[in-house]
A and B are shown apart, each in its own frame.
Chain A
Amino acid sequence: MATAEEVAKAAERRDVRDRWLLSAPALLVIFLAATGPLLIVLVYSFLTPGPYGDVKWQFSPEAWIAVFLERDIFDDTLSAAAAHVTIFLRSIKLSVVTTIATLVLGFPTAYFMATRSEKTRDLWLFLITIPFWTNLLIRTFAVLQIIRNEGIVNSILLKLGIISAPIQILYTDTAILIGMAYVYLPLMVLPIYASMEKLDFRLVEAGYDLYATRFQVLRRIIFPLVKPGVIAGSILVFIPALGAYVTPSVLGGGKNMMLSNLIELQFGQGRNWPLGSALSIAVMIIVMVALLAYVRNAGKSGVRHG
């Protein structure tokens, strides 16, 4: 009793199966490309370091223990890995401040862009993308030229007589912040602009008609509506900032390690690839958990306001 309905269902089932089969090769490639290298890193983190770099194929949990605990080389006591914690906290702190700085600069920029006429908007968008045309390293060296002791800022201030000796900005955390805020600013502006562009500005007018102050309009109308953009921008800035390598080493003078420098040390002069792998995975897990928590919270409060 093959009704027309059943035939249609079977055809549909076949259709679904064909689609899966046809996309399987692509999915497989994407899956392998995305997880393959990570799996190698994961496996390496459970091996024994080779004497001069590389790994020996012998299981060892040492690397993971070393991520969290360190054995003092002088009195042989086991304690929490203070050096790793310090480096981790410094990276987080700098990334959070970078995110806030780009948000403070990026939000008004995006607002300005979104409120221009349709034609000029494209021009502004184009201008925002210009820094991407130049290599990150070169942009970082450009910042170095501006803030160094013999650089543009200090020379002008000296000439104007505002300061008598150059201000030491280069090789400080401030220098890293300036560099990172500059480098990551477009990543904050673009997603905010994307949500702001869709914003119905009649709602803003309505707010003013109902006697809302400028601040109230910003807080109660604009901000909740562009929140997805702000969240996307914050994530786009925070994660690369956490892994930043070039900017801290060029502008920070390499005196205080960031996470990426610590990991690089293990693969280079430290010759402890398993520890480097374990540190990488640990950072990834922590970032992932933090992100999930953040997105979930942000999503909830978004619903409440919406």
Chain B
Amino acid sequence: MNWKTTATAMGLALLASTGLARADGELNIYNWGNYTSPDVIKKFEAKYNVKVTITDYDSNDTALAKVRQGGTGFDIAVPSQTYVPIWIKEGLVQETDPGKMENFKNVAPEWANPEFDPGRKYSVPWAWGTIGVVVNTDAYKGPTDTWGIVFNAPDELKGKVNVVPEMNDVIFAAIKYVGGQQCTDDRAVLKKVRDLLVAAKPNWIAMEYNTIEKMGAGDFKATSDWNGSALRQRLANPAIHYNYPKEGFGLWSDNVVVLKEAKNVENAKLFQNFIMDPENAAGLSAFHRYANAIIGSDKYMPADMKDAPEVVIPADAKPKGEFQKMCAPETQELYTKIWTELQK
């Protein structure tokens, strides 16, 4: 048998095997990378005899741009709450009315009727979290519950601070630090923000997303970060602590929506209902390490997450949390200019 016949035989075998495994239906999920628990997906596939395919994206803007072009073949996407109203307004998603689904009773009251999707007509909560400051306490012993770690770095941390380059998150934090309101277009506040950022930058070592590995290896001693990422860092090195800045910190949530162009609408609805089940929600959390909005999921949560300070916001910090909103396009333009000047 020469290589050509071998290859053909192998190809046929592969075809046959996929043919055998063909499910009743399919479901194409478009989600952030490293975010979807394979175990929960396997369970869904087994339960409904559906073949699930997952495709990754790395930013809300990428996902929005791609879906807007159409013809993606995706059934489900998971935009953040700031973007959900845009997806709705642009007619990219279907009204599947999760508020009337069987498992909706499990959704925590504070998540049942959010501002970005009143009455939960389109979306189902996937995960939620906070954006704060992570510090390696071996390197710095002083107070850490402040954005000052990033914007006014103490001497021990100078040249060792990373900033996750999410423009809106960084500007949000800087506005809070100088005492302004989110989405402000007040020039006096923005001038302070600009000056603060430009003065802070020489003390930053990098502006990178890859914080889990770099904090672990010690390349960074402090960083702005998401709470789930901070949890993974602490599990690798107990000296790494997550902090809720006293000036105010951002809250976010990601939400499962069904696309208007979905071909497998019924399976997509099944999936929306499926992840509102406490055990499944806990399964998702165990993988992505963020909190979910499902009552009763604590029972099934991994032990190291149950009272994790990254997941359970301490009572005294709670009032400082604020849901991040989508700013007006004109305001966004101002922020982009500040951002460009910062990185020039």
Instruction: State the A residues within 8 Å of B (CB).
Output: 49, 51-54, 70, 73-74, 82-84, 86-87, 148-150, 168, 170-171, 253-257, 261-262, 265-272
Closest B residue by C-beta to A266: B336
Q: A84 CA to B340 CA in the complex, in Å?
A: 8
Task: Write out the residue numbers on chain B whose beta carbons fall within 8 Å of the beta carbon of A82.
Answer: 344
Task: Write out the residue numbers on chain A whose beta carbons fall within 8 Å of the beta carbon of B344.
Answer: 82-84, 86-87, 256-257
List which B74-123 residues lie within 8 A (CB) of chain A.
86, 90
Q: Quick check: A255 and B207 within 8 Å, CB to CB?
A: yes
Binds A, one of B23-31, B198-206, B304-312: B198-206
Binds A, one of B59-67, B242-250, B254-262, B287-295: B59-67
Q: Is B68 an interface residue (CB 8 A)?
A: yes
Q: Is B157 an interface residue (CB 8 A)?
A: no
Q: A269 CA to B61 CA in the complex, in Å?
A: 7
User: Could you give, for residues 329-344 of chain B, a 1 whenever the CB lies within 8 Å of some chain A CB and a 0 otherwise?
Assistant: 1001110111111011
Q: A271 CA to B65 CA in the complex, in Å?
A: 10
Q: Quick check: A73 and B334 within 8 Å, CB to CB?
A: yes
Task: Write out the residue numbers on chain A whose beta carbons fall within 8 Å of the beta carbon of B326.
Answer: 52
Given contacts A254-B165, A255-B204, A257-B344, contact A269 B339 (CB under 8 A): yes
Closest B residue by C-beta to A85: B344
Q: Which of B61, B68, B159, B217 contacts A268 (CB 8 A)?
A: B61
Q: A149 CA to B194 CA in the complex, in Å?
A: 31
Shortest distance between the CB of B85 and any CB in chain A (Å): 10
Q: Is B218 an interface residue (CB 8 A)?
A: yes
Task: Write out the residue numbers on chain A whose beta carbons fall within 8 Å of the beta carbon of B168.
Answer: 269
Q: Quick check: B329 and A70 within 8 Å, CB to CB?
A: no
Q: Is B47 an interface residue (CB 8 A)?
A: no
Shortest distance between the CB of B184 and any CB in chain A (Å): 13
Q: Is B318 an interface residue (CB 8 A)?
A: no
Q: Quick check: B206 and A256 within 8 Å, CB to CB?
A: no
Sampled A-B contacts (6; CB under 8 Å): A54-B68, A73-B338, A148-B217, A168-B159, A269-B166, A269-B167
Q: A28 CA to B334 CA in the complex, in Å?
A: 44
Shortest distance between the CB of A56 and any CB in chain B (Å): 11
Shortest distance between the CB of B189 and any CB in chain A (Å): 11
Task: Write out the residue numbers on chain B whose beta carbons fall within 8 Å of the beta carbon of A52.
Answer: 64, 86, 90, 326, 329
Contact residue range for chain B? 35 or more
Q: Quick check: A73 and B218 within 8 Å, CB to CB?
A: no
Q: A290 CA to B2 CA in the complex, in Å?
A: 53
Q: Is B4 an interface residue (CB 8 A)?
A: no
Q: Quick check: B340 and A170 within 8 Å, CB to CB?
A: no
Task: Write out the residue numbers on chain A whose beta carbons fall within 8 Å of the beta carbon of B159.
Answer: 168
Q: Quick check: B343 and A255 within 8 Å, CB to CB?
A: yes
Q: A49 CA to B191 CA in the complex, in Å?
A: 25
Q: A269 CA to B83 CA in the complex, in Å?
A: 12
Q: Quick check: B59 and A53 within 8 Å, CB to CB?
A: no
Task: Write out the residue numbers on chain A whose beta carbons fall within 8 Å of the beta carbon of B187.
Answer: 73-74
Q: Quick check: A73 and B62 within 8 Å, CB to CB?
A: no
Q: Which of A54, A253, A262 contacts B208 (CB 8 A)?
A: A253
Number of A-B contacts (CB under 8 A): 91
Chain B's interface: helix, strand, loop or mixed, by majority?
Answer: helix
Instruction: A255-B201, A271-B332 are known; give 14 further A-B pairs, CB within 8 A.
Output: A49-B329, A51-B329, A52-B64, A53-B61, A54-B65, A54-B68, A74-B194, A149-B218, A253-B162, A253-B205, A255-B207, A265-B339, A269-B168, A269-B339
Shortest distance between the CB of B222 and any CB in chain A (Å): 14
Task: Write out the residue numbers on chain B whose beta carbons fall within 8 Å of the beta carbon of A269.
Answer: 59, 61, 166-168, 336, 339
Q: Quick check: B205 and A270 within 8 Å, CB to CB?
A: no
Task: Write out the residue numbers on chain B whose beta carbons fall within 8 Å of the beta carbon of A86.
Answer: 344
Given contacts A87-B344, A254-B165, contact A268 B59 (CB under 8 A): yes
Shortest distance between the CB of A82 and any CB in chain B (Å): 7
Q: Is B190 an interface residue (CB 8 A)?
A: yes
Closest A residue by C-beta to B162: A253
Q: A14 CA to B206 CA in the complex, in Å?
A: 66
Task: Write out the residue numbers on chain B whose beta carbons fall within 8 Å of the beta carbon of A150.
Answer: 217-219
Q: A126 CA to B123 CA in the complex, in Å?
A: 55
Closest A residue by C-beta to B201: A255
Task: Write out the residue numbers on chain B whose beta carbons fall within 8 Å of the beta carbon of A171.
Answer: 205-206
Q: A51 CA to B85 CA in the complex, in Å?
A: 13
Q: A170 CA to B162 CA in the complex, in Å?
A: 13
Q: A149 CA to B334 CA in the complex, in Å?
A: 37
Task: Write out the residue numbers on chain B whose beta carbons fall within 8 Å of the beta carbon of A148.
Answer: 217, 219
Task: Write out the residue numbers on chain B whose beta carbons fall within 8 Å of the beta carbon of A51.
Answer: 329
Q: A128 CA to B283 CA in the complex, in Å?
A: 48
Shortest distance between the CB of A48 and any CB in chain B (Å): 11
User: Could you give, for residues 40-70 of chain B, a 1 whenever the CB lies within 8 Å of some chain A CB and a 0 otherwise?
Assistant: 0000000000000000000101101100100
Q: A255 CA to B340 CA in the complex, in Å?
A: 11
Task: Write out the residue numbers on chain A whose beta carbons fall within 8 Å of the beta carbon of B340.
Answer: 83, 257, 262, 265, 270
Q: Quick check: A254 and B208 within 8 Å, CB to CB?
A: yes
Task: Write out the residue numbers on chain A whose beta carbons fall within 8 Å of the beta carbon of B337.
Answer: 70, 73
Task: Write out the residue numbers on chain A whose beta carbons fall within 8 Å of the beta carbon of B59.
Answer: 268-269
Shortest distance between the CB of A179 and any CB in chain B (Å): 14
Task: Write out the residue numbers on chain B whose beta carbons fall within 8 Å of the beta carbon of A54.
Answer: 65, 68
Q: Quick check: A254 and B336 within 8 Å, CB to CB?
A: no
Closest A residue by C-beta to B59: A268
List which B198-235 residues lie within 8 A (CB) of chain A.
201, 204-208, 217-219
Q: A262 CA to B342 CA in the complex, in Å?
A: 12
From B64, B159, B339, B344, name the one whose CB has the most chain A CB atoms within 10 angstroms. B344
Task: Write out the residue numbers on chain B whose beta carbons fall within 8 Å of the beta carbon of A53.
Answer: 61, 64-65, 68
Closest B residue by C-beta to A82: B344
7 smallest beta-carbon distances between A and B, as pairs: A253-B206, A83-B344, A270-B336, A51-B329, A269-B167, A254-B207, A257-B343
Closest A residue by C-beta to B340: A83
Task: Write out the residue numbers on chain B whose beta carbons fall within 8 Å of the beta carbon of A254.
Answer: 165, 206-208, 343
Task: Write out the residue numbers on chain A whose beta carbons fall within 8 Å of the beta carbon of B205.
Answer: 168, 171, 253, 255
